[in-house]
Chain A
Amino acid sequence: MIRLGNPQLRIFRPNWFLTLVRPGKEQPPDTVQFRIPMEMTKCDVKNYLEKIYNVPVGAVRTRIQFGSNKKRNHLNQKVKQPDYKVAYVQLAQGQTFTFPDIFPEKERMPTEGSMEEMQEKFMEDEKQRQKLDPRRGGVTEWFGL
């Protein structure tokens, strides 16, 4: 671990892996949020991103998220969720980053002749039958002579 006072430590193949996460709360556009192993420090994160991934890093702020110890299992024992460290990295040189949409909405077209297609067609016909006569212009059935 890099600390003030420790001898200069060079790690050539670090056994640390960073996880890019989508921020829970809205962050400014130049801020990227990572989950990092507990042993890493701010300097470690900066050097890691700059040397391995060539990402220009401006500032790094870290915090440790406490994993809750409140839940209990079927034996009434407390179950601990693991703690993890979160790093907020601000990019240098005016770069921005937005977390991409990993699960975009897709137009689901059911395949021909399958059950889904018949079911969808049936539902559409039912809905069409429920609707009122368009010639009445939105007025209900019971209103009239």
Chain B
Amino acid sequence: MGNKQTTFTEEQLEAFQDCTFFTRKEIQRLHGRYRELAPHLVPLDYTNNPDIRVPLTLIVTMPELKENPFRDRIVETFSEDGHGNLSFNDFVDMFSALCETSPRELKTIYAFRIYDFNRDNFICKEDLKMTLNKLTKGELTPEEVSLVCDKSMEEADLDGDSKLSFSDFENMVSKAPDFLSNFHVRI
């Protein structure tokens, strides 16, 4: 970042700016952060698009994600291989989707992915339970958990198939007052 060596070509920066909500400076900063995670892995010079992936275990140590109960899911969702290994593209993608300016629709999609723990394109009761347990650190009793899950399902499930499809989720989240203010990470 600080030194004179070019990390990205002009073209790359432009392309990133077209594809994300970041400015060039932020992209460079992101690269700095990315590199910080694994200095020996990530080269300073990204002009030839090296295919480097930083594993999940390192990504989740970022202070932005460290305390998030869904950190593993977030990283997994944005990694192309599904195991949480992020290439720089994925990394930028992640923070772009989570940044303040990204639109509600985009955030909704990614939120759905994040909460869909078993990746079956539906949020089923299992997913709800996982979510709840992560949110409350397992403080609730099993009865309470299942009650809450039932209630949520009842509220949000429109067609009564006892799992939330994306449209259910979208419908529910689009009305939530806190979603946008809470579902963002500032980098």
User: Do the two shown chains form a genuine complex with each other?
Assistant: no
Q: Which residues of A does B touch, CB under 8 Å?
A: none
